[in-house]
Amino acid sequence: MFTLCRISLFVTLALCLSNPSVTAFPEVLAGMNLQNQMPQDTPGIDVTYSKEDFFVHPNENHTWGIPLHQVDICDALSGDLSLSFRAHDPDTDIGHTIVYWMAKADGMFKSFDLQQWEKKADWH
């Protein structure tokens, strides 16, 4: 009887551990924040990335999460203008849990601290 209980406990444990929903840890996300600082008379920005599409009006922002280990490239459209930018890259964004992006009339800018901005893409 004791052996039967141990075997059934072992089988139950093995089945639980083989189920990914039981063993998976919650995914750690990097926060992305896009500020649309395009002129007020522009149509806004349509953004597409691997998980969703979203729209950001001028002077508004949008926040989303990307798994820390994942590279994610966004495509942005504003009227006749377009650009692509690497929203998250674990090799270059290591140590930063939030990546800030700012869309301006002359391109897309990236920051980790909202103080220093680096231009990463031009509108075409």
- Supply 108's token pair: 């897309």
pTM attached to this predicted model: 0.78
Task: Please tell us whether the domain made up of 28-121 is placed in CATH 1.10.357.
Answer: no
Q: Measured in whole angstroms, how far is the alpha carbon of residue 11 from the centre of its chain? A: 39
**How many Å apart are CA 113 and CA 33, to the nearest integer?**
12
- DSSP secondary-structure letter at 79? T
53-103 pLDDT tens trace = 999 999 999 999 999 999 999 999 999 999 999 999 999 998 899 999 999
Instruction: Note whether 92 and 101 are within 8 A (CB).
Output: no
Phi, psi of 84 (to 5 degrees): -125, 145
| pLDDT at residue 28, rounded to an integer | 84
Residue (of 80, 79, 43, 76) closest to 58 by Cα position: 43
Query: What residues contact residue 84 under an 8 Å CB cut-off, 6+ apart?
Result: 73, 74, 75, 76, 121
10-62 pLDDT tens trace = 444 344 444 454 445 567 889 999 999 999 999 999 999 988 999 999 999 99
Domain ranges of the chain: 28-121
